[in-house]
Amino acid sequence: LFQMLMSKVKLQLMDDFGLDVIYDSGALLTRLEGEPRHDEWDVDPRHIYWNPHVDKANIPTYDYSALLYLNTHGSDFEGGEFAFLDDDADRIVSPRAGRLLYFTSGPENLHQVREVTRGTRYVLAMWFTCSKADRYSNED
């Protein structure tokens, strides 16, 4: 199922951005909670996920980012909206189960996830690269 989803997203990106080829660069199932539990799955308790960021600044080989929402804002959780932080205004994307959001990973797409205030928000985050040398390898 996961490989099928990655392939479909990759084909969509290639079609919409006019790319001949792109490669998987990583994926992460994210769980953001309104009342976070502190367990073995915490990445770093000091990490503030709602800080504005650019994906390519975190991992320089990321060229495209994609988010597949697995549940819906308003019914499953509150807060947690995705915001592109443009100079003239914030552009808000409301998560909805099955919605796919994708964009280039560079500084043109400064963004943040707003703080989840109730419930749990689930997203499959995926990144892609144009560099064959920097593609994800499962050989480790």
Q: Which residues are identified as catalytic?
A: 121
Report the 3 state secondary structure along 108-123.
HHCEEECCEEEEEEEE
Rounded to 5°, angle at Cα 39 from 38 and 42: 80
Helices (H) and strands (E) in the chain, counts: 2, 8
Determine the Cα–Cα distance for residues 86 and 91; give it in Å rounded to an integer. 7
Burial (0-12, 13-18, 19+ Cβ within 10 Å), 100 = middle
